[in-house]
Structure 1
């Protein structure tokens, strides 16, 4: 994108300013510029198509990410609902655990009572040995007494067996209660741990997709802005090429430029050092021309070709003369471009810029800070100009204005 913008800047500057060249040189340069920059326009259009495709892909990825984020949020909501339900179950489990604890205590008490009763039965049964059974018959006592004692012995045996069975059942019930209580507690803890782990995982995924969605939104917004700017530049460039084509068609013959009859001014003073923090607007009427020489073309004077006027000044000067910065600022452009040769632009802040063309050598690079009076270039005739000198222009918010309204010539 930076490369396309840089190329477009060269094209626009060359198309806007090339018209000040001498007629034969300018016609040739204009023709070459139109032919060459048709390719530049195609490059911009190709880049627009590529950016549109990339934007479509980004939008698709953004939509997919948004859908994934929506699904994750639904899952998080579902798990949060399950955790809420689990908390309700926790209260129920606590109540059930208390009930089971009470039941366990009752069973233990009942088991203790049964154990005491069984102990008593065993005690009485041990008092009666097998010899007691024999003595009943050997002593030949009353049959009714024998029958009664046998019934009693049988009752003791049956009661002992019943107590043992009941005690066994109580043991089994208590074991089941303890097992059930432990199972409920384990199930709750396992479910709780599982839900918390899922929540942590989903929270991480949600943060990751949310960040991705934010990044994609920022990138697509930037690409929309870039695409809009490229389309505007494309239209502007196309309009400039059409206008220049119309001018070339109208020029049947090369007409030498006529003098306007204006007195040629001679400049002998150069810019002096100015503080970097001085606003450019405060220097109005105090500025000097950037080079010593003759002012042979002025802003707004008519040019051949019909309806075309000068956007700046041309100062005829000797090769090798130093070109000075008219005021403090920063170099924003310093390269060779078609039609202007070695070209340099200074940004003075508050949308004020100064432009210097046809230099033989540039002594400053883009990004460097300069002060008024600093040497920024050396006079020449680069870019196909027929005579040595400097093209000089002032602009505010991109529009050229008459430098002589700001400059004092001495």
Structure 2
């Protein structure tokens, strides 16, 4: 694996709470020994049959990183497009203002022409009474001031337009550079997808018979079970430490939420809990939810992430500790949004749907465990 999950698990357990450092020395030494033993055992298994699987992990991890880059670049493109859209709107508003100001200026020029464009002394000489002279002088003064103000606004509008044009050109040039980078990343992603396809073909060749498929699936399940047991034991040991800080309380406890938990993602169940797997030789320990690649995966309850990494057979995997001995598991993700030690709220996005772990179709594999034992998620999730 890219990271030996055992070492990641140890650091993860220490990250569950700062108070974990104050746990009894004997408990921590025992936990260290258990993790080391599991690490040695997994190395033996991986050394015997992990070449193609490691290749798959490398492909899928690379794809996940490239997908993150593509999504980030797409966000930058959207932001640049929005800025250009706002600048173009501003330019449009200024163009309308300029056209209106031009019309007003033309009207004032016509009015001035009709008035004879007379200077103030000429207006004065043409009047017969002092009152009329005073009134006409004020009219003339108002007219000239209004004309000057409109001319100033017109010139200001032109100046603003002249400033906008290079801004729009600059943003457009920046957008083209970002789009070029997007093209490169998408090409890399397509190449990684092609490599993954070839790797999956190799895997399918090696497990062309059902006995081999069953053997591999049993081994993957055994490794996952070992991981979950270590997580459960470690959570229990650390929770018993004198200065342990409990999970962030954001509402009801998990045990009281039976039948009312939100779904981890939108979709339909393609494989139910306890249904047949490998022609009845195995049963599903959770549910497989068919969903669109990239859509969000949410935590079903508040808790703390205790595992967030690639795991053989499960792909990019997230495990959340909800306290009271309850764990939830989310597998085959495309990307992970959380890391080990992070506290999460109910409904918070923790990953995106994918097909890692060698899956042909996108979907989310979801389990609930109580004291290490798989229980039916359908009993806990709210009815659709």
Return the TM-score normalized by structure 1: 0.38
Identify which of structures 1 and 2 has the higher relative contact order when contacts are C-alpha pairs closer than 8 Å and 6+ apart. Answer: 2
Higher alpha-carbon Rg:
1
